[in-house]
Amino acid sequence: MSRKSELSKLSDDHLARPPDEVFDIICKIGRGSYGSVFKALHKESGQMLAIKQVPVLQDLQEIIKEISIMQQCDSPYIVKYYGSYFKEKDLWIVMEYCGAGSVSDIMRQRRKVLTEGEIATILSYALKGLEYLHQRGKIHRDIKAGNILLNTEGHAKLADFGVAGQLTDTMAKRNTVIGTPYWMAPELIQEIGYDCLADIWSLGITALEMAEGKPPYGEVHPMRAIFMIPTKPPPSFRDPDNWSPEFIDFVSQCLIKNPQQRTNAADLLKHEFVKNAQPCSTLQKMINEARELQLMQQSERDNEDEDMEEEDEVDGGTMVHKSSSDTVPADPGTVADTMIINPTAEDTMIRNNTALTSLNADLNTMVINKNDSDDNTAKPPAFLSHFEKQDAQKRENKAKDTTSKYDMSKENSGEIFSQSLDGNFDSLNTLTYEQLQARLKRIEPEMEREIEELNRRYEAKRAPIIQAIEAKKRRLQNF
């Protein structure tokens, strides 16, 4: 169906009608904060839109905040908001559709990182979006490649305002820990108060993500990364020789740990690296390549589905097969076409014949300490409980899987394990290659459990000391 007219917003008549009469849902294309995202056709105009369907049982206040911030934005560098509906138990949020997908999706689809020229173009658009937000006292708080969307012309737009915040004249800084761990600014993690410059840090991390395939510390557990970000020096390129001095300087200005010294969006737009950025047409080759790969892989999946159906007719046994329609972009917060094939931690991206392991896609945006008020009472780090719950769920899921991928006698495994604890690793030479691989895979969850136990012991010792300090403070105040 050809487009009849450009839709600027949904009319009162459209908003008063059931959404099924206004839109045709085409397919599910991803997940954003708080809900699933669908590609939909606006029947009257013929325009493609994105609709986020949010269960109303979720935190309605947070959802309303997202809508409010999107309503207030009118910029070509921000995903446009058209209106919203209530349908049964879901809230439908109607937004601009970006047909090329997110930058993260395109990288994963092509199995390639971006060139310096492509990165410069995308960053120039993202900075204009951030400048628009920051001039209006708004903080995005979740800048990453998965939340920068491209339309088919190559225009980059900031998306997913599910965790965005508003600064007022009476609130110069916020204290809520919100964002995706690897992209978080140090001051945000430390809960010492932060402002719009936290987005600039995240943009610098996003630049490294586009250049190297994953953010710094992407190979470690997110809880460890959160401890490392405030304590380690600012991250930089793994191989600086591959990049221009201008790009390296741009990233270093974004990743200054002291936010008061960090360069703001308006000044970064004047940086030589951004000033020399090419127009969005330079992204067309990248977008077209990703689209061709998507169509090719979709065709292969369709053929596999047909083969499976034929096998089903012959084989009367039970088979579980995941339909391609269930595949969604793995990067949370993406309003984009499905442009990936079962992404896992084993996926690789290629630059100059160098394999780069991509970040494990099972990573969600954190929203912690919703109440911005500070009662001056020292608390344990808020993010610990988030990851403890996440890890407990992972262990529970693993416990349900009783299928072992390797075989080792109880006597032999117990003996070798005890010897390893004693520091005697000679017996490892007696293991097969498969057994050594299995042992290596066990180390990471064991380390996570040890970190959790260490944190619990730390908090158990710390809590009574903090309580005693607070009691002393209260007595002094009363005196």
Q: Which residues contact 57 (CB under 8 A, 6 or more apart)?
A: 89
Our answer to whether residue 331 is catalytic in this structure is no
Question: Any idea how long the chain is?
Answer: 479
Question: How would you classify the pairing of strands 177-179 and 348-351?
Answer: unpaired
Q: What share of the chain is helix, strand, coil (3-state, %, to 5)?
A: 50, 15, 35
Which helix (H) or strand (E) segment holds residue 90: the answer is strand 90-96
- The pairs formed by 293-301 with CB atoms below 8 angstroms and a separation of 24 or more are 293/109, 293/110, 294/109, 294/337, 294/338, 294/339, 297/341, 298/324, 301/341
52 among the known binding-site residues? yes
Radius of gyration of the chain measured on its C-alpha atoms: 25
| Nearest residue to 50 via CA among 89, 6, 107, 99 | 99
Answer yes or no: are the C-beta atoms of 158 and 148 closer than 8 Å.
yes
Answer yes or no: are the C-beta atoms of 30 and 335 closer than 8 Å.
yes
| Dihedral angle sign, alpha carbons of residues 469, 475, 477, 479 | negative
Which helix (H) or strand (E) segment holds residue 394: the answer is helix 383-400
Greatest CA separation for the chain: 86
Catalytic position from the list 90, 105, 142, 347: 142
| Dihedral angle sign, alpha carbons of residues 394, 399, 402, 405 | positive
Answer yes or no: are the C-beta atoms of 223 and 451 closer than 8 Å.
yes
Per-residue tokens: 422: 């004693």
| Dihedral angle sign, alpha carbons of residues 4, 10, 13, 19 | positive
| Nearest residue to 106 via CA among 288, 304, 325 | 288
Per-residue tokens: 227: 């401890």
Answer yes or no: are the C-beta atoms of 236 and 248 closer than 8 Å.
yes
| Nearest residue to 35 via CA among 55, 15, 50, 18 | 55
Answer yes or no: are the C-beta atoms of 131 and 362 closer than 8 Å.
no
| Nearest residue to 183 via CA among 160, 150, 167, 166 | 160
Rounded to whole angstroms, how far apart are CA atoms 38 and 159? 15
CA 27, 32, 35, 38: dihedral to nearest 10 degrees? -10
C-alpha count within 13 angstroms, C-beta hemisphere, residue 116: 15
Annotated binding site for ATP: 52
Annotated binding site: 52
**Which sequence positions are flagged as catalytic?**
142
